């Protein structure tokens, strides 16, 4: 599966990839390998967790807030998905969807930029 976009959360040091499988994958550390020294025969690092409740089309942007402890992703599907950086009651996982709503039309390219205040 190919990766279409990558997003970083500098507050929790996670990074996310989104590809043609439409699953947002979270990794718990930044890659630190020197490109010329990567062993391409080794398998890639597995994602810490996968968030299957993601965008129907490609993720196009993201924003995060250390104050409110939320991350939001915008997609070409016109949706904004807001996720909590902390596990929700009854869940052991970070970044569970706490709110999703339609913000823009697909014909206009969906959501193109996000920001938190």
pLDDT 10s digits, 19-77: 778 788 888 766 667 778 777 788 777 777 777 788 888 888 888 887 778 888 898 89
Distance CA(4)–CA(93), nearest Å, equals 24
Q: Which of the 8 DSSP states describes residue 107? A: G
pLDDT at 78: 92
pLDDT at 81: 92
Q: Name the pLDDT band for 10 (thresholds 50, 70, 90).
A: low
The whole-number average pLDDT for the span 3-14 is 72
Distance CA(43)–CA(37), nearest Å, equals 15
Q: What are the backbone dihedrals phi and psi of residue 97, each rounded to the nearest 5 degrees, phi first?
A: -65, 125
pLDDT at 79: 92
pTM of this structure:
0.73
Q: Name the pLDDT band for 1 (thresholds 50, 70, 90).
A: low
- Contacts by 33-41 with C-beta closer than 8 Å and gap 24+? none
Say if residues 11 and 2 touch (Cβ distance below 8 Å): no
Say if residues 3 and 21 touch (Cβ distance below 8 Å): no
């Amino acid at each position: 599966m190919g990766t279409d976009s990558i997003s970083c959360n500098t507050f929790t040091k996670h990074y996310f990839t989104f590809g043609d499988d439409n699953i947002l994958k979270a990794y718990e550390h930044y890659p630190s390998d020197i490109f010329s020294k990567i062993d391409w025969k080794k398998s890639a690092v597995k994602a810490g967790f996968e968030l299957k409740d993601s965008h129907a089309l490609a993720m196009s942007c993201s924003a995060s807030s250390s104050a409110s402890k939320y991350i939001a992703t915008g997609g070409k599907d016109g949706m904004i998905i807001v996720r909590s950086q902390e596990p929700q009651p009854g869940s052991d996982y970070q970044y569970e969807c706490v709110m999703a709503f339609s913000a823009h039309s697909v014909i206009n390219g969906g959501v193109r930029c996000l920001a938190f205040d």
